Amino acid sequence: MMNLRKDKMRCADALIKILESNGVKFIFGHPGEQILPFYDALRSSKIKHVLMRHEQGAVHAADGYARVSGEFGVCVSTAGPGALNLVMGVATAFKDSIPLIVITGDVDTDLKGTNVFQDIDIESIFRPITLETFHIEDPDDGTLKLKKAIEMVKHGKTGPIHLNFPKDVLNAYVDTSAPTVEHVEDKDISLDDINDTIKLMEMSERPLILAGTGIIWAHAVSKLQDFSLKYNIPVATTYSARGVLPEDHPLCLGMIGLRGTTAANFAGKNCDLLIALGCRFSERTVLGIGDPEIIHVNLDSEVLEGNVKIQGNAGQFLDKMGDITVKNTGKWLQELDNHKRTYEIKTDYNDIPIKPQRAVKEILDASDDSTTISDAGTHTTWVTLLKKVTRPSSLLFSGGFGPMGYGLPAAIGASLADPAERVVLVVGDGGFQMTLQELAVIAQENLPILICIINNCCLGIIKQWQEMHYRERYEVKLENPDFCEIADAYRIKSKRVNAPGEIFDAVKNALDLNEPYLIDIMVDTEEGIILPKVKP
């Protein structure tokens, strides 16, 4: 029961009220002693708690939820081991700029730093992988910090923010009449920046828009599409922004950079003006970019590059762009038409064991426009090259950090974020075994997630790197259990597939059931991918 006094409320209850008032529907977590006051308050809340089986699963699920919903995710854990188990997922969200509120419990304030049970300097661990990490010693400050954190992830640079609450602080009372946090306004874009942008656009004969996930977090997908169509400017995207313009649209060139399409990389190398919206120039992205004039719009001033650097919201930037007299881009678009926007990958193999590219092609064809999540592994390349993305946030991959084991818990968050869309997870046998305990959550919540295991009985990419650079393979063979029996133990239906002609129907039939399902697809251990020409 909520603990109330006149003008006062327990800190834990106040935190829940703040989350409720900001539209939070789900919290992903795992309870423990030091976070129990928070769970006591959560018990009477309309927010649904999703009991993950490991804290790493909790933060990956919150990440998947955020990517699909377009809102911030929330995860929670106890002190010490619980908080440390969050680190992998928090780093993943940080590298991909995913907005998360990460709440951890801690030992009582007077015991902090005394080396008691589960006491650790967790803030120093979280500081390099979060936008901010707050250790709360005053309950009133704790509620203000949570409000501030939510304002930051909603209106500022996106990423995880960590709040660490000692147990005694959660149990203490706050003043409910305390002042509220000032609303964080989007940084206004100056008229000079707009005028400089217009001048470059009016001079350009070969413009290119490079769209990043800042477009998605700004809820500016339709604005981007209108802008591109109005001025007839082609669009290339980063990996995570694929689908902001459907990849079958005449103006969409596809992904740029490493594994990018020929058309996108040709455009990046030959454009005279690059309008980069809500992205950063990562080492993978710049592989597809030449030496154009650059207009760069991003909320993070530290990543801005180019001729016109605009710190701001990509949606606000597009709103401020009035009518511009641009040059006809017809000749430029005609030139781009000579370059392929899809990948020519041979997939029509009938071999047994199944070729993995054939397996992935059959999965994608059968699942059509379902939300696809790719875990990290050899199969990721085939998913990247073969998936046609027609809507934003319908292809999820933890590209900045790339941990194995991300996919299964992320699928849980994605499914809860949009129950109307089917979620298809493509995962290797190695990655699947890193977080397979979260099958319990899928079964418990009866989430209609289809899990397709690309089972090559090895750590495929690592095996290839070893053979390429060290001439031999070592410690990459996997002696796998029977994944169908594991699924059965969790009361999840399953099927093993050994022939390529069986895959399409197996996927279709599983999707028609509209319930959890696992397909174990046995693929060729020796079939690899084309690796980048860099030494691992």
Residues 6+ apart with CB under 8 A from 481: none
pLDDT band, very low/low/confident/very high, at 8 (cuts 50, 70, 90): confident
Average pLDDT of span 461-477: 86
pLDDT band, very low/low/confident/very high, at 518 (cuts 50, 70, 90): very high
Give pLDDT, residue 165. 98
pLDDT tens-digit map of 269-280: 999 999 999 999
pLDDT tens-digit map of 335-375: 999 999 888 889 999 999 999 999 999 999 999 999 999 99
Q: Which of residues 218 and 2 earns the better pLDDT score? A: 218
Number of H helices, E strands in the chain: 22, 21
Mean model confidence pLDDT for the chain: 94
Question: Measured between alpha carbons, how far is 117 from 68 in angstroms, rounded to an integer?
Answer: 38
Rg (CA), the chain: 24
Query: Any idea which of 293-307, 308-322, 502-516, 521-535 has the lowest mean pLDDT?
Result: 521-535
Give pLDDT, residue 178. 61
pLDDT value at 535 more than 70: no
First-to-last alpha carbon distance for the chain, in angstroms, is: 55
Average pLDDT of span 14-18: 97
Q: Are 427 and 410 in contact (CB under 8 A)?
A: no
Task: Tell which residue, 532, 525, 523, 522, has the closest CA to residue 482.
Answer: 522
pLDDT value at 115 more than 90: no
pLDDT band, very low/low/confident/very high, at 179 (cuts 50, 70, 90): low
Diameter of the chain measured on Cα atoms: 74
Quick one: 267 exposed, middle or buried, by C-beta within 10 A (0-12, 13-18, 19+)?
buried
β-strand partners of 517: 450, 493
Question: Measured between alpha carbons, how far is 23 from 66 in angstroms, rounded to an integer?
Answer: 13
Q: Which of residues 227 and 119 earns the better pLDDT score? A: 227
DSSP-based three-state secondary structure for 261: coil
Quick one: 310 exposed, middle or buried, by C-beta within 10 A (0-12, 13-18, 19+)?
buried
Give pLDDT, residue 472. 80
pLDDT value at 417 more than 90: yes
Q: Are 427 and 398 in contact (CB under 8 A)?
A: no
Determine if residue 309 is left, alpha or beta; phi over 0 gives left, psi from -120 to 50 gives alpha, anything else beta: beta
Q: What domains can be seen in the chain, in order of their start residue?
A: 4-175 (3.40.50.970), 191-336 (3.40.50.1220), 356-522 (3.40.50.970)
φ/ψ of residue 133, rounded to 5: -130, 125
pLDDT tens-digit map of 195-216: 999 999 999 999 999 999 999 9
φ/ψ of residue 481, rounded to 5: -75, 180
Is the alpha carbon torsion for 140, 145, 148, 150 positive or negative?
negative
DSSP-based three-state secondary structure for 98: coil
Give pLDDT, residue 177. 75
Cα dist. 167→109, 119, 480 in Å?
A: 8, 12, 42
pLDDT band, very low/low/confident/very high, at 183 (cuts 50, 70, 90): low
pLDDT band, very low/low/confident/very high, at 319 (cuts 50, 70, 90): very high
pLDDT value at 1 more than 50: no
φ/ψ of residue 181, rounded to 5: -75, 140
Average pLDDT of span 401-405: 96
Give pLDDT, residue 536. 43
pLDDT tens-digit map of 141-164: 999 999 999 999 998 899 999 999
Would you list the DSSP string of 330-364? HHHHHHHTTS-SS---------SSBPHHHHHHHHH
DSSP-based three-state secondary structure for 467: helix
Give pLDDT, residue 343. 84
Tracing tokens 């703040």 back to the chain, one arrives at 18
**Sheet hosting strand 8-10, strand order edge to edge:** 4-5, 8-10, 173-175
φ/ψ of residue 504, rounded to 5: -55, -50
**How much of the chain, in percent, has pLDDT values that exceed 70?**
96
Would you list the DSSP string of 445-458? HT--EEEEEEE-SB
Average pLDDT of span 441-468: 94
pLDDT band, very low/low/confident/very high, at 2 (cuts 50, 70, 90): very low
**How much of the chain, in percent, has pLDDT values that exceed 90?**
86
pLDDT tens-digit map of 29-88: 999 999 999 999 999 999 999 999 999 999 999 999 999 999 999 999 999 999 999 999
